[in-house]
Structure 1
């Protein structure tokens, strides 16, 4: 288990490093290739769309062919997508570049299931820690991703950003190599042929509702506030260097706690950690409303990152309680599809809401969904308490 979890954490680190690299260059490339400024973020939209559309089918595919083969296919799509995008840069074709971005998005949608693979290679007592440790791989991305984006951009002086996509090919090749050493048990007969309830019955369970709600709100609120922060800091006159430092502290807050989140869940319970995560994210909003100094932005984004970590990892752990083996693929697929959809919507709404409403109202708008999560967690806790024998 230890080796496979470590290798899955490495794969997660490689995936997130590639994602950070893409965040650094996608909009800039779109602006370079597009004839109209309004189309500059089209590659971003297409990539998120690819991620969303791949999430559910990927889970069903892995049920049939296994986790490792599914991840190999995902990273293979990423390599093809990066090469297509590289070719599109040379041809200065926005349409071809968007096709490559869609394939990369599909790779991301498939590879997001690394954390669920960690459950498959762990016993019941260690599944929370396994999920947490795999997510800790994102800490590498916080340190390596921005530097790799800057360094690889100049690999090919005659093709700006071409080096970034060659670096992406290397990242996905490394993931494929690492996966060769991962030992994920094949799908059991119970998973493939076992009795499964109608999906409507699965998604109506309180534990499923709260798990998906927590994951969706955690990611949507985090992405929206994170993306709006640089715009607000720029309006306040902060330099790019200071803004980048704030974002880096945020990413560290997102992933550094992962080394202990699993232990905290095992000790205090999953709903308690989810509740703490929700409160920390609400704390981010309260700090942002207190002022627009460098300290406000930094401390708020750290709270946002740690809160996301607790709420999202907690939600992932809670989801594993919501399905039988034969229902696993569909339940996980629905969860990933809804999370990807929330990220896509939040990414596009962040700049729009910041320009229309302003910083304070952007933060206030995030309070209701977080309060809804708090209410849902308390509701689930009471249901669980009532079900326990006296």
Structure 2
């Protein structure tokens, strides 16, 4: 990579990181306020997390259309469309909070989920703009944009709680609308280079069936890390504000603080995750993520003081980062240029299918059975991730040795 190409790549990654940071700030506001707003507006507490679950269902359902739309129109146009949909979602949620209408709020969450599907592809755009040596760092740097979300998202959620008094939380959704406008402005100068290796011959190569690609040992472990790892994180994270509220905490006395540190732990390691992957390899980094999840569960079961929620959620964020970034890096090794769109869409569709289910179930499990059962319920998917990693590592390196 010459100096001119390197500069262009770094500029693209910077723009994508800033856009990701702004979009993730919207997500951070949603993490803090959606379940609490749902609890305030819902006809019964059992469906408090339904709007958030619908958000993830919409994200899951939109991954395939978004991926193929960007294959036809280009990444930039797809990202711009996603940001405009985010503006609409923010407006609908603000109107719902203002009117105290639960089902309108659920609709707004759904629209916002469509927008979030386009945001998922920022990391792939960064990977495609980079050569093999810079790719893990590019993915990490774009994901590191979430640090801004960790700092500003919960603070904006707290500010928005009473911003339009007496309409609780409506101000936070106004902030989501304004942040989505900022994403549009950030994307205006984005110019993505041609993807390395996208020669006419490579693009016209007959793609393999999706099942054949997904059955590769590397792909099995990468997809399991993304789907189950994200699902566990969403399951525990979604239940946390409800559990803390039951324990007597509110946004000012602890909930925003814990979520802020959780989101910070999700993205702050991204500055070094790429370097760690280059040094240790994807399998070892994903294994560290599984260990973080196991310790998170143990701390959460140990007590319900603020320090227990804080420690558990920090480790939950760290584990997610290692699993998600390393899994994404590994997945890029599993497909050809002609297979890119469908594999990326399948990975994110599978991931957000799990996230949607976990988000919806989390509220019911916490409300009916309690916080301990949320944590105990996370043990099974964490064990499955560990098994998938062991299978992928054994099968892949057995083939390499042969």
Q: TM-score scaled to structure 2, two decimals?
A: 0.87
1:351 aligns to 2:351 (yes or no)? no
Q: 1:305 to 1:3 in 2, by over 3 A?
A: same
1:289 aligns to 2:301 (yes or no)? yes
Note if contact 2:13-2:142 (Cα within 8 Å) is conserved in structure 1: yes
Shift of 1:210: 1.1
Q: Equivalent residue of 1:124, what SS? A: coil
Deviates more, 1:342-351 or 1:62-71: 342-351
Partner of 2:234: 223
Partner of 2:12: 4
Q: Equivalent residue of 2:138, what SS? A: helix
Separation (CA, whole Å) in 1 of partners of 2:374 and 2:40:
29
Partner of 1:248: 260
Extract unaligned runs of 5+ from structure 2. Answer: 1-8
1:308 aligns to 2:358 (yes or no)? no
Shift of 1:97: 4.3
Note if contact 2:35-2:242 (Cα within 8 Å) is conserved in structure 1: no
149, 157, 166: which is aligned to 1:149? 157
Q: 1:21-49 deviations in whole A, cap 9, x for unaligned?
A: 23333345545655666665443333222
Shift of 1:110: 1.3
Extract unaligned runs of 5+ from structure 1. Answer: none
Q: How many equivalent residue pairs?
A: 390
Q: 1:287 to 1:194 in 2, by over 3 A?
A: same
Partner of 1:214: 225
Q: 1:74 to 1:376 in 2, by over 3 A?
A: same
Q: 1:249 to 1:96 in 2, by over 3 A?
A: closer
Q: Equivalent residue of 2:133, what SS? A: helix
Separation (CA, whole Å) in 2 of partners of 1:36 and 1:285:
28
Note if contact 1:63-1:191 (Cα within 8 Å) is conserved in structure 2: no
Q: 1:34 to 1:317 in 2, by over 3 A?
A: same
Separation (CA, whole Å) in 2 of partners of 1:288 and 1:68:
41
Separation (CA, whole Å) in 1 of partners of 2:88 and 2:120:
18
1:52 aligns to 2:52 (yes or no)? no
Shift of 1:243: 3.8
Which structure 2 residues correspond to residues 334-349 of structure 1 after superposition, within 5 A?
A: 334-349=346-361
Note if contact 1:155-1:163 (Cα within 8 Å) is conserved in structure 2: yes
Q: 1:159 to 1:354 in 2, by over 3 A?
A: closer
Separation (CA, whole Å) in 2 of partners of 1:92 and 1:358:
27
Separation (CA, whole Å) in 2 of partners of 1:265 and 1:95:
44
1:111 aligns to 2:119 (yes or no)? yes
322, 339, 351: which is aligned to 1:327? 339
1:276 aligns to 2:283 (yes or no)? no
1:81 aligns to 2:89 (yes or no)? yes
Partner of 1:384: 396
Note if contact 2:46-2:367 (Cα within 8 Å) is conserved in structure 1: no
Q: 1:181 to 1:320 in 2, by over 3 A?
A: same
Shift of 1:181: 2.2
Separation (CA, whole Å) in 2 of partners of 1:134 and 1:100:
27
Note if contact 1:64-1:192 (Cα within 8 Å) is conserved in structure 2: no
Tell me how large the CA RMSD over aligned residues is: 2.6
Partner of 2:3: none
190, 203, 215: which is aligned to 1:204? 215
1:260 aligns to 2:268 (yes or no)? no
Q: 1:297-353 deviations in whole A, cap 9, x for unaligned?
A: 322222221111111111111111111111111011011111111111111222322
Q: TM-score scaled to structure 1, two decimals?
A: 0.90
Partner of 1:72: 80
Q: 1:112-159 deviations in whole A, cap 9, x for unaligned?
A: 111111101111111111111111111111110122233345555686
